[in-house]
Structures are given as C-alpha cells and as structure tokens.
Amino acid sequence: MVKLLLNENEKIIINIVSSEKSLKNLPKRIPFDFMINNRICYLFYKKVGDRLDSTELKQIHDKVEETRLLIDEIHNLSKIFREHNISFTMSCKTIESQCDGHEVDVLVNEHQMEKVKNILEKLGYISVPWGGAYAKVFGEVVIHVDIYPEKNGDDIIFQGRKERRKIDDIWVLSPECELCSRLIKPIVMRSAEFTLCDILHLSNLLEKYNIQRLPKNIKKSWVIPCLHSIYLINILHKAIYSRDIRAPIVEQAKEFHNRSRIWKFLSKIETRKINLPFRSRIFSYSCLVYKLLYDLSHFNFREVIRSVAYFINHITIPVSNTHVSILSLRRILKRKRILVCFTGIDGTGKTTHATKIVKRFKKMGIPCQYVWCNWVPRISYPFMALVYLITGGYRRKDYHKSRILRRIWNYIVIFDFIYLYLLKVKLPLLIGKNVVCDRYVYDTIADLIYDGLYSERASKILLKLVPKPDLVFMLDVPEDISDLRKKDTKDAINIKDSDDAIDYLRIHRNAYLKIAKSLKIPVIDATKDFEDLHEKIYKQVLCAYVEKQKDE
C-alpha cells in the first residue's frame, strides 16, 4: 500500500500547479521549502502571484526571476544561433513545462563546438570548470549553458538533428529522446531523485505526445531500466492525482513488472512511503547492476569497461560542504586558479567586497573560498608564554621595549604566517578553488610597523616566501571616516595604552600607504559609492579569472 507523506498545505499547492485541477484557496501557510525543493515556484506564481503580497513573494521571487531570465535567454540564444547558421538542439524542462530552472543543455555539431563557445564568450558567458559549462551573471541571477557535441549511433540521450522538434522557434529533443534523457540521467548520475516538476513534466510528455514505444536505437541494456523508471513515475503520479498516466508505454511498463518478481518487489519496497522530492538509492543502483549484468551475459566487455569507468568517475566525494564527482574534481584540478586579496585599514569594506565576490563566483559554479588571512599566533604561542614567564608579564604590545625581541620577533612571525598561508590559502588552491583573502601579508607588515617591531630584512624574506596574489586591492579611507564606520576598534584590537583608536588608525594608514608605494600597489579610494566600486572590482577579478583560463 502506497502512503503519500504530504501535509494539507502541500496537497493544496499540488492542486494549484496542476493543469487538470481547478484553482483552490491558498493554503493557510505556504510551504516555501516544499515549492523550492520541487522546483514549482514559477508555476505557482503564474497562477496565484496576483493574490500574494510582497512579503509572501519574497522567498520565491528569486526562483521566479531566475526562470523568467532563463526563458528569455533561451529564446535569445536560439535567435543568435540561427543567425550564425548553428545547427542546435536544446534540452530544458523550462521550455515546455515552465518549471523552475537556471540551466539549459545545448547540443551542436562537433565541428561547430568552438564557434558556439566563441559566440557565448562574446555574449558575456565565461567558462566554468564543469565540463563544457558556461555561465553568465544577470544581476543576482546566474544562467548556466552546457554545451555537448551531437552524437550519432546508439547514444540515446543526445541523438541528432533527425530526432528533434520545434517549440516556439526553439529546436528541442524529440518526445521519445526527451523521455529517455530524463529517465536515464538520474540513473547514470546516481542522483535518484524525482521532484514534483519531474513528475509533471514526464507525465505531460507521455500523455501529450502519446508515446507508445522507446526509440528503436536505444541500447537494449537501457530498455528495462527505462521501463522501471516509467513504472515508478506512474506510481508517484497515481499517489498524487489518483489516476494512472494515460499512455500506451505505461501499460507496457506495468505488464513488464507483473512478469518480473524482482522488479515488482523492488518497486514495492521503494514506494511504500512517498515524499516529494522522491529519493531512492535502490532505483539507481538496481538499474546500474542490471545493465552491468546484461552486458556481461552478452559478452559486451567494452561496454562493461565503459560502465565501470563511468561509475568510478562519478563517485562523489565531499569537498567544502558539497559533493563533487571524481571526474569533475579532475577537471577542477587542471584549471588555473587565482588568488585575490583585500588589504587596508578597518572600515574600508574589505570583508563585504570579499564575501560578495565569493558569493557571485559560487553562483556561477566557479569554486571559490573566502579566507580571513591576518596573522594570528600559532607556532609562537609557546615562545610568547616563555617571554611572559621570564619578563613577569610582558604582553605582545610591549615587545618593542625589548631590543632582543625587536630583532627576533619578525622571524617568528614568518613561521606563523607561512603556517597560516599553507593551511588557509595553499590548501584550497591545491584542491582547485579560487581564493579571496580578507587581509594578507601586507596587513601583517602594517601591524609590525605599528607595534614597533618592523624589520626590513625580515619583511623582504616574508614577501619572497609568500606568493604574490594575482590581484591586490588596497582600500583606503581617512582615519576619522574609518573610526565612524567601525566604532569597536579599541575594544577589538590590542591597542597600546598610550594610543587611542584614531592614533592606531592613523599609524596603520600611513604604514599601508608606505607599503603600497614601496610595492607599487594601487590605492583605491573606498569613500566612493560602494556598489559602483564593487562592480569595478568584481569585473577586474572576473577578467583576471577568464584570462588565466585562456593561458592554459
């Protein structure tokens, strides 16, 4: 017995977005997480957007805007490709079902691949390290375009020009190829998940085009997994809408399951309790095992090797709060990364600029990490404790009083900073991430100047040992403005008893300006409008990233 685990509010949302049920009253409490996870925000908004106030719309507005931009961009790209005589086929659920989305697959002739990539780059897209992916920023929204070569033969997911149809002047996959693409992809990617938008899209595809069979050139080893997928989709559809999907191929899938005890048993286990999105590891692993056994039994060892290699390449491993396949990680490691740093006195906006750039890069699918890279004692802790015991209470701000400490302290700081760099900066760079530093070695030197512990020789050694960033942004504001922007300077920093916050900021600012002049680092006036300044900085960082990739 199938049990649908949805609350009343979620059931009302399902009825609202369904084309076959009449519009009902809005739920008492709109389940935004359910809508976002099932990618139905745009469908919901199109039906009842005028009945919601701005506060209710706030949580789904981004998804709606993202989908609108994607639809517009799909039409724009289609027009441009036609003008350049590009033979293309697109695959995106948003085109027909208008579910939420931010990416589109584009299939082109292999000999036109470079031409398409050049067109995208001229349109402002940049290459990101995920295969043939390109991304473009539209304000706070990022659109992803994945380019694939059209293949002939038995590759059912990406067929060719003969297997396509036209929707609103956009060439898309034929219904049969679209169906197989949507069914096989969760299996091979081992992301066995069906959202409500998947169920709506696939059921619409099956009924609207009355699909009676799978394509003739689909690999025989994929026939059973596809039928199993269709059977599962029908169970989900029936649990939600209390009726089967009206399509001949659904009856074929039922007939197959009635004959096969194993597949029927697996389906029964999978669908005892249904929640949306529907997730099942049994689904993908059982299909992959079946395909492997099928190829072995037919002595198709080439296909077995390909399947095993594909499986190994798509094993996912955790990388910085996400899971990345081994294949993607290999591509990432081959890419060149950039190191960017923001330096300057307090209140110049270093942290805000750095975090915003990281956020925008991540939205485009570019691996990026924010790092606070100011000097903190690590290796020097035992030494500091020893000094404290010997001197009877010397704190670091008093070290300038000792001639011995003035001579050796810079060299101790070098060890500390090298340790900090290796741990916080070098390690993320090694695993393929671009790094944006909030403070860097220049801030450490400025602190030494303020503390009266600066040694020119030691600082030169430190600068030689630590790699120079690809971009350095030294932000500057007058000390009185800095004090107004950041009122906790004295409380947050180990200031000398003889100095107040303004003295601290003035000495530091002069130190930064001397460092900038000595190392020929441009000084940026941070009193200008923040948003305008940020856009200029962001474009510089983006251009540096793009140029570095071109140098490969």
Taking the alpha carbons at both ends of the chain, their separation in whole angstroms is 57
> Are residues 158 and 207 located together in one domain of the fold?
no
**Position 198 in a domain:** yes
Higher pLDDT: 161 or 507? It is: 507
Give yes or no: residues 204 and 283 share one domain.
yes
287 and 422: one domain? no
pLDDT greater than 90 at residue 378? no
Q: Is residue 106 part of a domain?
A: yes
pLDDT interval class at 155 (50, 70, 90):
very low
pLDDT > 90 fraction of the chain, expressed in percent and rounded: 30
> Is 462 among the domain residues?
yes
pLDDT of residue 156: 40
Last residue of a domain, one of 153, 173, 193: 173
Whether 209 and 131 share a structural domain? no
Contacts of residue 143, Cβ cutoff 8 Å, sequence gap at least 6: 69, 70, 73, 102, 103, 104, 135, 136
Residue 16, pLDDT above cutoff 80: yes
Domain count, the chain: 3
Of 106, 140, 173, at which residue does a domain stop? 173
Return d(Cα 31, Cα 34) in angstroms, integer.
5
- Domain range for 87 is 1-173
The one-letter amino acid at 350? K
**CATH number, residue 539:** 3.40.50.300
Same domain for 242 and 350: no
Assigned token pair, 250 = 């659904």
- For residue 342, name the pLDDT band (cuts at 50, 70, 90): very high
Residue with tokens 């003295």: 503
Using the predicted structure, report yes or no on whether residue 471 has a pLDDT greater than 50.
yes
Q: What is the mean pLDDT of residues 425-444?
A: 90
Q: Specify the higher pLDDT residue, 83 or 398.
A: 83
pLDDT score for 191: 60
DSSP letters of 51-103?
GS-HHHHHHHHHHHHHHHHHHHHHHHHHHHHHHTT--EEEE-HHHHH----SE
Domain check: are 399 and 508 in the same one? yes
**Could you tell me if residue 323 is inside a domain?**
no
Instruction: Please report the pLDDT score of residue 314 as a whole number.
Output: 58
Compute the distance between CA of residue 265 and CA of residue 77 in angstroms, rounded to an integer: 46
529 by Cβ neighbours in 10 Å (0-12 / 13-18 / 19+) ranks as: exposed
Q: Is 212 helix (H, G, I), strand (E, B) or coil?
A: coil
Domain end position, chosen among 252, 275, 298: 298
Q: Are residues 82 and 201 in the same domain?
A: no
Mean pLDDT in the chain?
82
pLDDT at position 479 is 87
Measured in whole angstroms, how far is the alpha carbon of residue 413 from the centre of its chain?
36
Please report whether residue 303 resides in a domain.
no
Distance of CA 487 to the CA centre of its chain: 36
**Segment 303-308 long-range contacts (CB within 8 Å, at least 24 positions apart):** 303/221
Tens of pLDDT, residue by residue over 249-283, are: 999 999 999 898 888 888 888 888 899 999 887 88
Please write the tens of the pLDDT for every residue from 21-40.
656 678 888 898 999 999 99
43 and 66, same domain (yes or no) = yes
Q: What is the dihedral of CA 472, 473, 477, 483, to 10 degrees?
A: -80
Verify that 212 and 293 share a domain, yes or no. Answer: yes
Question: Do 229 and 261 sit in the same domain of this protein?
Answer: yes
The label of the residue with tokens 């035992």 reads 382
pLDDT bucket at 157, cuts 50 / 70 / 90? very low
Tens of pLDDT, residue by residue over 178-236, are 888 888 877 766 566 889 999 999 999 999 888 888 887 778 888 888 899 999 999 99
Based on the number of CB atoms within 10 Å of its own CB, is 385 exposed (0-12), middle (13-18) or buried (19 or more)? exposed
pLDDT score of 312: 67
H, E, C per residue of 411-464: HHHHHHHHHHHHHHHHHHHHCCCEEEEECCHHHHHHHHHHHCCCCHHHHHHHHH
Report which secondary-structure segment, H or E, holds 122.
helix 113-122
Q: Is the confidence at residue 498, as pLDDT, over 70?
A: no
pLDDT digits (tens, 9 = 90+) for 306-328: 777 766 665 655 554 455 555 56
Q: How much is the pLDDT for 310?
A: 66
Mean pLDDT lowest among 24-33, 362-371, 497-506: 497-506
pLDDT tens for 100-124 read 988 898 988 888 989 999 999 899 8
The answer on 211 and 157 residing in a single domain is: no
Do 136 and 235 share a domain, yes or no? no
Q: What is residue 160's predicted lDDT score, i.e. its pLDDT?
A: 43
